[in-house]
Structure formats: structure tokens, C-alpha cells
Amino acid sequence: MTNDSPTTPTVAIVGGGVIGGGWAARFLLHGWRVQIHDPHPQAKERIEAVLDNARLSLPALADFPLPPEGELVYTDSPGEAVANASWIQESVPEDLGIKHRVIAEIEKHAPDTAIIGSSTSGFKPSELQEGAANPGRILVAHPFNPVYLLPLAEVVGGPAIDVDIRDRACEILSSIGMKPLVVRTEIDAHIADRFLEAVWREALWLINDDIATTEEIDDAIRYGFGLRWAQMGLFETYRLAGGEAGMAHFIAQFGPCLQWPWTKLTDVPDLTDELVDKIATQSDRQSGDYSIRELERIRDRNLVGIMRALKDRNWGAGAVLAEHDKRLAKVQPVAATVDDTGPVRMPDISVLPAWIDYNGHMTEFRYVQVFSDTCDRLLVMIGMDADYVAAGCSYYTAETHTMQLDEVGANERIYSTAQVLLADTKRLHVFYRMHAAADDRLLATTEAMYLHVDRDSGRVCEADPRLVANAKAIADAHANLPRPDAAGRFVGQRKQD
């Protein structure tokens, strides 16, 4: 589906590698028209591979449907790509001469109001702005791979930036679910990559000196401090290490260690052929059982799981997702997300290997989990967010009936739907279906009755009129749908021929 509205915003992507393709995916899946240029003969194939991954994973982060997908246009030149664009993202190789030539070509053809962002991980904006006709609209918007999932974008303007343009850039990034981090003072490699560089240097020494392998270094990160960093970062983690006395105590206790010769952060081992071969051999041994595409999908599924767990707690990257859900709810009210042609369809998800039982199929309680997650999405859609629950009321499950009809295996794509059978001031009666995404075959159904409850008293009470109106809007849209054959069944009831 494409969004051909004349008001559809347009983004130009110049350079369609891993990063440029990630930018294209994030904008496209948020309804933007994407005009992309990359002279590489396999550019389209590479970009489509990134888009396939994004379509599988990005919608699973949201509890509201994303806007209709935008239109993707491949162009023959940078000038054609940037025509009518309101945002232009340069993602060409990290060569300042190439970037200057590309930016000069962009400026010849871009609208005067267009923002020009660069994905550069190393160059400062003042370096990019040298010789530009309008340096005040050129800034660094440095993302992290995969761009379509990771929300951080370092926004660096430099001394010449127009502050209004920088602020507008942050608004646009927020509108596509990103977390703009404004770097107040330009510096080589910005903020995040300086940390990565320090860790990378030390890792190279550990391999060079035969202290650790690539897998052992990765294990130290993913089983240890990486898990802490994913949700608390560096300083908040160390604040906890200081106990009740806090950060000052931690520094007093561990600060002297910084004078000890533990690391070699200011030195780099010579990247000799021998060292490069050692790293490559160990890396192939560590990950060689998987193709790059398989590793990308494993990474994306894991990131979705981690970020959704953080979202449930409104913490870290999860708080960005929760805030983005509020934006999606505003631009897509209930009336715009349902129609009378079928039940509400929720985003596709993958069956994780951990969900598989000893028979090789998705285990029973995971069916319940999927339907529970579908219920959560439906309740958020009608307005029952965390603030509503915190205020003292919620829907409680009163009764359910589940039928498991077919089997599903690891890594298969599935989706669920919700058909609202009844909605009034105190009750919500819903029929859910789970389908295989590949062929739409029906895997399971659940019928559920929910009661609106005052959590303090534990008694049934009337829901907020806004929730009732939203729920009734969906029920009215579903009123003419065929009533599910399984609705009202009981355990052990024979199927009718």
C-alpha cells in the first residue's frame, strides 16, 4: 500500500548502504515518500533486503498500527532524489571529499527549506559545512545500526547551524520514533562512537595479546555489563555500585583504579595481516553457522524483545517507544484504525525458538501470551494506557475460552486479530484469532470477557466515557461481521458439521 496524498512528506536518501537503507526503511514505514539514489549496481537489492527486515520487526515495537507505508522511488541522480524533499539524508562513504561533492550537488537541486542531515560517524558538522551555500541547514544526524529499530540519533549542528532548523530536525526525528540527542559542542566522533572506539581498542589488544577470543569478549559484554548498559547506561549503573552513598562514594572508592595500568586505551595494536587473520578466523568460528541475513534477523528479534520489555516498564529505549505510541494514537484515532471489513489486525511477530516445546511446536502458554499481548494492544488502542491504570481503574479478565487448532514452529511469522462483539460501560467482549502470516491459516482462537474494575475496591465500575466511546466505535464497526462459529462454545462441546 502506498500513501499518495499530496501532503505526504518526502525524504531523500543519498547513499543506500546499510545505514542509508535503514533510514529509508524507518521513514517509509512511517508513511513518508522516500526518494533514494545510490549508483551501486546492487543498490536496489541491498535496500530491499533491509526493508524486508524492517517490515518484519519495526511494527512489532508499536501498540498502534503504523501509518500506511509510503512510496519508494529509485532515482538516477542525487538531484532527482532531493527534488521536493523536506529532509535529505546523506549516507555516502566516510570520505570528506566525497561528502563535499555530494552536498554541493544536493544544494544545487534541494528546496531552500530542506534540512540536510549527514549520517557521518566521524566528521564534525563544521567540516561538512565548508564551502556550502547555506551551511546553517547542514547538520549531523548520526544513527545506529539497525536504523529502523534503534532510536538514537546524535544531532550535531556546529557553530553555523540555524537553531530553528536543528529544532525542526529533532521534531522530525521524534515523529518517526527516534530519540534525538543534541550534542551541544561538536567533537570528533560525537559521543557514542567515542565509547565504542575505546572498547574496540581494548578488545583488539586482548586478541592481539592472546588473552581473549572474539567470542569470549562478546560473552563478557552480552552476559555482563552490556545488559546493564542497555537499560541504565554507564553513570546510572555506577551510581548503583556506590550504594546509598551514591556516585561520590563510588568515585572515591574506585577512582584510584584509573591510575592503574589496566588498559591500553590510548594505544592501538598494529593491524598486521596476522592480527587481521586471527580476528577474522575467530569471528568466522564464532558466527559462521549463520548467514549475515540470518544474523540480522536474530539481532532484530532480540532487539524487539529487549526493547518491548523496557517499554513495559517505560524505561530507557522503551520510554521512547511508549512516547511514540502516544503520537501514533493521536494521528491514528480509533475511528481511523478500524473498519467494517474485518477484525482489527495486529502487527506480525515471529515465533521465538524459546517458545517451542518438546514436540517442536509453540507451547501452550505462548498461545495465551500472544492473545494476552493482543488484548493489551487493543486496550491501549481504546485509551487504557499506563496513566489510566495508575489512576485506579483497569479491565480485568473475567472469563476466557481458547481453542488450539493448528501447529506453528520456530521462526514462523504469525499475526492476531481482535473482533469486538460487545462494548458497554462495564464490559468488553472480544473474540481473538491467531493466523499464520504465510498462508493465513487459522492457528487458534480465544474468546474473552473483560470487566472494568476499580482497583482499590475490587468492584466493577463504569469505564471512562472516552474508553467506552472508543470501544463502542470498534464494536459498531464490527457489528455486521459474521459472528464467530466458536463464540459461546464451552470446553468439550462437539464441533458442528
Domain ranges for the chain: 10-183, 192-289, 337-477
pTM score: 0.80
Distance between CA atoms of residues 203 and 214, nearest Å: 8
Q: Region 282-295: what's the mean pLDDT?
A: 86
Residues in the chain: 497
Which is higher by pLDDT, 366 or 338?
366
* pLDDT score of 247 more than 90: no
Return the minimum-mean-pLDDT range out of 140-144, 245-249, 261-265: 261-265
- Give me the pLDDT at residue 150, please: 96
- 117 phi and psi, to 5 degrees? -105, 145
Of 196-200, 226-230, 337-341, the one with minimum mean pLDDT is 337-341
Is 496 a residue whose pLDDT tops 70? no
Taking the C-alpha atoms of residue 300 and residue 317, their distance in angstroms, rounded to an integer, is 15
Mean pLDDT score of the chain: 90
- For 237, the grid coordinates are 549503573
**pLDDT confidence of residue 336:** 64
- In SS3 terms, the chain reads as CCCCCCCCCEEEEECCCHHHHHHHHHHHCCCCEEEEECCCCCHHHHHHHHHHHHHHHHHHHCCCCCCCCCCEEECCCHHHHHCCCCEEEECCCCCHHHHHHHHHHHHHHCCCCCEEEECCCCCCHHHHCCCCCCHHHEEEEECCCCCCCCCEEEEECCCCCCHHHHHHHHHHHHHCCCEEEEECCCCCCCCHHHHHHHHHHHHHHHHHCCCCCHHHHHHHHHHHHHHHHHHHCCHHHHHHHCHHHHHHHHHHHHHHHHHCCCCCCCCCCCCCHHHHHHHHHHHHHHHCCCCHHHHHHHHHHHHHHHHHHHHHCCCCHHHHHHHHHHHHHHHCCHHHHCCCCCCEECCCEECCHHHECCCCCECHHHHHHHHHHHHHHHHHHHCCCHHHHHCCEEEEEEEEEEEECCCCCCCCEEEEEEEEEEECCCEEEEEEEEEECCCCCEEEEEEEEEEEEECCCCEECCCCHHHHHHHHHHHHHCCCCCCCCCCCCCCCCCCCC
337-477 has the same fold as 10-183: no
Mean pLDDT score, 83-103: 96
Residues in Cβ contact with 12 at an 8 Å cutoff, skipping those fewer than 6 apart? 35, 36, 37, 78, 81, 82, 83, 85, 87, 88, 89, 106, 110, 114
Alpha-carbon gap, residue 22 to 51, rounded angstroms? 8
- Is 468 a residue whose pLDDT tops 60? yes
User: What digits encode the pLDDT tens for the residues 48-85?
Assistant: 999 999 998 898 888 777 888 999 999 999 999 999 99
Query: Among the ranges 144-148, 286-290, 338-342, 485-489, which has the highest mean pLDDT value?
Result: 144-148
Of 87, 31, 33, give the one whose Cα is nearest residue 328.
31
Q: Where is pLDDT greater, at 99 or 287?
A: 99
Q: What superfamily in CATH does domain 192-289 come from?
A: N-(1-d-carboxylethyl)-l-norvaline Dehydrogenase; domain 2 (1.10.1040.10)
Q: Is the pLDDT of residue 248 over 90?
A: no
So what's the pLDDT on residue 149? 97
In the numeric block, the cell 559484554 is attached to 221
**The one-letter amino acid at 378:** L
User: What is the residue whose three cell numbers read 542497555?
Assistant: 230
Place 287 in a pLDDT band, splitting at 50, 70 and 90.
Answer: confident
Architecture of domain 337-477: Roll (3.10)
Q: Are 34 and 28 in contact (CB under 8 A)?
A: yes
**What is 10-183's CATH number, 1.10.10.1100, 3.40.50.720, 3.40.50.20, 3.90.1150.10?**
3.40.50.720
pLDDT per residue as tens digits for the range 423-446: 999 999 999 999 999 999 999 999
Distance in angstroms between the alpha carbons of the first and the last residue of the chain: 38
Mean per-residue pLDDT, 126-135: 95
pLDDT for the residue numbered 5: 42
Residues near 184 by Cβ (< 8 Å), separated by ≥ 6?
none
Cell numbers placing 434: 491467531
- Rounded mean pLDDT, 157-170: 95
Highest mean pLDDT among 260-269, 404-413, 423-432: 423-432
Please report the pLDDT score of residue 263 as a whole number: 67
CB atoms under 10 Å from CB of 405, counted, come to 12
Could you tell me the three cell numbers for 65? 498500527
pLDDT band at 346 (very low <50, low <70, confident <90, very high): confident
48-62, 102-116, 251-265, 404-418: segment of lowest average pLDDT = 251-265
Span 7-50, pLDDT tens digits:
789 999 999 999 999 999 999 999 999 999 999 999 999 999 99
pLDDT of residue 97: 96
Query: Largest Cα–Cα distance of the chain, in whole Å?
Result: 80
Q: Over pLDDT 90: what percentage of the chain?
A: 66
